[in-house]
Structure 1
Amino acid sequence: MEESEELDLPKSRSANERLHAMIPGGAHTYAKGDDQYPEHLAPVISHGRGAHVWDIDGNRYIEYGSGLRSVSLGHAHPRVNEAVRREIDRGSNFVRPSIVEVQAAERFLATVPTADMVKFAKNGSDVTTAAVRLARAVTGRRRVAICADHPFFSTDDWFIGTTPMPAGIPAATTDLTVSFPYGDLAATEALLTRYADDVACLILEPAAHSEPPPGYLQGLRDLADRHGCVLIFDEMITGLRWSEAGAQGLYGVVPDLSTFGKALGNGFAVSALAGRRELMEHGGLRHRGERVFLLSTTHGAETHCLAAAMAVQSTYVDEGISARLHTLGERLAAGVREAASSMGVGEHVLVRGRASNLVFATLDEHGQPSQQYRTLFLRQLLMGGVLAPSFVVSSALGDGDIERTVDVVAEACAVYRKAVDAGDPTPWMAGRPVKPVFRRLV
């Protein structure tokens, strides 16, 4: 699509108005809101297959970051869908556990052998909050230490109170959450010493946009043991994408508890809390201490979602999906970097992160992160048929998809160069800038 061409989305604009009239924020996840997209260019999706989605205006896009990183095998994956259909025909929820719960637990623990027990739920916040509750219960301590460099852990008060959107959360709750910087063992030890015998857990993503420094994760393991707190790995993103067994399987450091979701269900609602038996059993019936209300959800063990999780894990292992995601990501990253460099914006359009979990940064003429330039870049991608709030790949992408994406990125970078030369991206934004998810005011 040439620079002069416009993408017109009349049906999507109308649907967005209807969404906002009935749903606060116009979406069920803030990161999917139309404020995250250029003005009037927030497509409403009709359907998807593989690495492509179609909006209700009939436009097709190559999609990245599918389902906020959850649809890592591509939309409507036949092996997953077949497993789901089979279980739906057998009933989805009963008054007693289904045999599928046994099978799903066995499959999960075979895939993540560093854990002894697992409990399933529907979303990531369920299980991260359960992990925190369990840590507080077994240690008898109040404070939660979160990694300050990781953007999201839960919708619950213990985390949201620390964000720029703490409205409705008592300060007394927020005061019990403290933070430590990623990669800095000395600062973390100082925190644990400062709050001696009062920190219940350290919770972090074991890896994010950069590899953990050598010895860092093992150093955290040692600190947690020395100070008597619980080490929790949030593997919502790293689970399956880093390796079938997550970051703990790749880096060889075993946390006390870990949480999984996103890729686990390929879009179906399933998450998992896993960990050491002596901790997890506090939420069970085979111990002599005070009971912990760990997780108890009506829909946590819906059979079709557990069937999806089993099919996903089997597909990852049988087809080497983790390795394929890395290969695709490496090819995409190399192409985007070459395109940006060739258009003279290699220092402004940056690709970061592990190959299976790529994000991009948009810097202004002074080298500073810019929402205005992000708006310009997203707009050009959309006009070229690429829907990419990130460059997180799915295994359904083909060589042609990558090549087309790189071509569109090159076209976008040509426009980006004009804006940098002008020192002002406004003429190419065609509306207000996209906004950060976490902000105090609308």
Structure 2
Amino acid sequence: MAGRLVVRPEGPAGPATWPKSRHRSLAMQSRLHHAVPGGAHTYARGPDQYPEGMAPILSHGLRAHVWDVDGNEYIEYGVGLRSVTLGHACPPVVDAVARELGRGANFSRPTELELLAAEDFLSTVPTADMVKFAKNGSDTTTAAVRLARAVTGRDMVAICDQPFFSVDDWFIGATAMPAGVPRPAVEATVRFRYNSLDSLDAQFAANPGRIACVFMEAATAQAEPEPGFLEGVRRLCDENGALLVFDEIITGFRWSPHGAQHTYGVVPDLSCWGKAMGNGHPIAALAGRREFMERGGLRTDDDRVFLLSTTHGPETSSLAAFRAVVAEYRTGDPVAAMESAGARLIDGVNRVVADAGLSDFVAASGRSSCAVFSTFGPDGQPSQEFRTLFLQEMIDRGVLGQSFVISAAHTEADVDATVDAVAAALPGYRAAIEKGSVDGVLRGRPVAPAIRGRAHPRRV
């Protein structure tokens, strides 16, 4: 399917110029709501995260482009919720997976591939002594919490005020969507602020001898550690007898193949990995110090921890994908490619935004390998309505993404076309700012936070 890239030079479109070939996506989205709660298997992929009636149902992707079931082609950002760093259908990864498909997928004993993949991981992440594979990040983060509780004999978890760590009770109970989580689980999780050692120290003081682990991302797209912060977290954990756990699910293979722990030089006790490990194929990992990881094994005299035991954790095609990813990072430099393309994108977007006189209302920012865009209303505050307007205009111009998170497959031409699409979208955004409202310009209801207590304001 060749598809087509929709690029219009004008400002916001009315229904008359809305692409005519969206009917299959709309019909399939309706069927998805009938079969799948929320209409998607991941809340962040839900139709409520996109302008109403404009969430495409995709058929396939290649490099940095995707096609929907109506044949429309888009330059894609966000790339599999940040899981694709080498581009869709990366040939070496596809070839590695294809070689395994005819050899069997799952067996009653470990395969040689499990050993080789584990050795690849530990040579890539030398700050870890042992690793165990799984299929999704939540399994690994929950295993880390269970292990920390067993090691310390404590029940509480101190989590950083960062967006997401797990679908499980210990984290979801601390969000705006705690329905179904027992109160003891809710009360066992406390929060501290990023770049605030005082807030973490206060939690240790308020809960003496109860915090099993400190759980955090070393950095995010928009938040870098201030000098001494991560070192201070490490020190507070050591002084208070808690384990330090880094969530490397986004930062691993995007900040560095060795993780953020390598980038910032602070080594956690345990770390959790996923997303880009398999370039979109389902694989995740729990890694850490031998003295702790062995509690889930057979070389311990302590009480054993049911660490990770998954039927599909050692499935062969994903392990093959991971090994191919490692090989690509060893022979090339995908991180440098993402940083270069991302910097070009950030600079280009902010240049055309400044040219349009909208620097107070639209901005591209963040780490260049993991960039985001911010949208503000007439009052200068973050606005879901204006975010939705920006998404609407970008989708109409063939750019799909809830962020500007890039891959190594994005070319200069992809980036320049995206900057051109932003420039073409800005006159309509400016008109809405000057009017003080998106009324008459935004088609449908605005997007809503993925994690919220009620289906309103995007109830279907």
CA–CA separation in structure 2 for the residues paired with 1:41 and 1:23: 18
Q: How does 1:192-231 map to 2 (within 5 A)?
A: 192-208=204-220, 209-231=222-244
Q: Report the equivalent of 1:267.
A: 280
Q: Is the contact between residue 372 and residue 426 of structure 1 (CA under 8 Å) also seen in structure 2? A: no
CA–CA separation in structure 1 for the residues paired with 2:341 and 2:412: 8
Q: 1:151 aligns with which of 139, 163, 173?
A: 163
Q: Report the equivalent of 2:193.
A: 181
Segments of 5+ residues of structure 1 without an aligned counterpart are none
Coordinate RMSD, CA, aligned: 0.8
CA–CA separation in structure 1 for the residues paired with 2:140 and 2:423: 41
CA–CA separation in structure 2 for the residues paired with 1:169 and 1:50: 40
CA–CA separation in structure 2 for the residues paired with 1:425 and 1:344: 18
Q: Report the equivalent of 1:96.
A: 109
| Letter paired with 2:155 | R
Q: Report the equivalent of 1:405.
A: 418
Is residue 252 from structure 1 mapped to residue 287 from structure 2 by the alignment?
no
| Letter paired with 1:190 | A
| Identity rate, percent | 55
Structure 1 residue 359: Cα displacement: 1.0
Structure 1 residue 89: Cα displacement: 1.5
CA–CA separation in structure 2 for the residues paired with 1:87 and 1:19: 31
CA–CA separation in structure 2 for the residues paired with 1:283 and 1:351: 44
Q: Say which SS state the counterpart of residue 428 (structure 1) adopts.
A: coil
Structure 1 residue 402: Cα displacement: 0.5
| Letter paired with 2:347 | A
Q: Report the equivalent of 1:108.
A: 121
Q: Say which SS state the counterpart of residue 231 (structure 1) adopts.
A: strand
Q: How does 1:355-374 map to 2 (within 5 A)?
A: 355-374=368-387
Structure 1 residue 360: Cα displacement: 1.1
| Letter paired with 2:213 | C
| Letter paired with 2:444 | G
CA–CA separation in structure 2 for the residues paired with 1:352 and 1:407: 18
Structure 1 range deviating more: 309-318 or 107-116: 309-318
TM-score (norm 1): 0.99
CA–CA separation in structure 2 for the residues paired with 1:375 and 1:182: 28
Structure 1 residue 185: Cα displacement: 0.7
Structure 1 residue 317: Cα displacement: 2.3
Structure 1 residue 72: Cα displacement: 1.2
CA–CA separation in structure 1 for the residues paired with 2:35 and 2:305: 37
Q: 1:171 aligns with which of 183, 189, 209?
A: 183
CA–CA separation in structure 2 for the residues paired with 1:49 and 1:205: 30
In the alignment of these two chains, the number of paired residues is: 441
| Letter paired with 1:176 | A
Q: Say which SS state the counterpart of residue 215 (structure 2) adopts.
A: strand
Is residue 302 from structure 1 mapped to residue 315 from structure 2 by the alignment?
yes
CA–CA separation in structure 2 for the residues paired with 1:358 and 1:10: 31
Q: 2:408 aligns with which of 387, 395, 399?
A: 395
Q: Report the equivalent of 1:417.
A: 430
Q: Report the equivalent of 2:172.
A: 160
Structure 1 residue 192: Cα displacement: 0.7
Is residue 31 from structure 1 mapped to residue 41 from structure 2 by the alignment?
no
Q: Say which SS state the counterpart of residue 48 (structure 1) adopts.
A: strand
Segments of 5+ residues of structure 2 without an aligned counterpart are 1-7, 456-460
After TM superposition, which residue ranges in structure 1, 4 or more long, deviate above 6 angstroms?
none
CA–CA separation in structure 2 for the residues paired with 1:29 and 1:365: 32
Q: 2:329 aligns with which of 310, 316, 320?
A: 316
| Letter paired with 1:138 | V
| Letter paired with 2:287 | A
Q: Is the contact between residue 7 and residue 41 of structure 1 (CA under 8 Å) also seen in structure 2? A: no
Q: Report the equivalent of 2:202.
A: 190
Q: Is the contact between residue 11 and residue 56 of structure 1 (CA under 8 Å) also seen in structure 2? A: yes
CA–CA separation in structure 2 for the residues paired with 1:187 and 1:52: 43
Q: Say which SS state the counterpart of residue 335 (structure 2) adopts.
A: helix
Q: Report the equivalent of 1:375.
A: 388
Q: Report the equivalent of 1:280.
A: 293
Structure 1 residue 147: Cα displacement: 0.4
Structure 1 residue 409: Cα displacement: 0.5
Structure 1 residue 426: Cα displacement: 2.2
Is residue 7 from structure 1 mapped to residue 7 from structure 2 by the alignment?
no
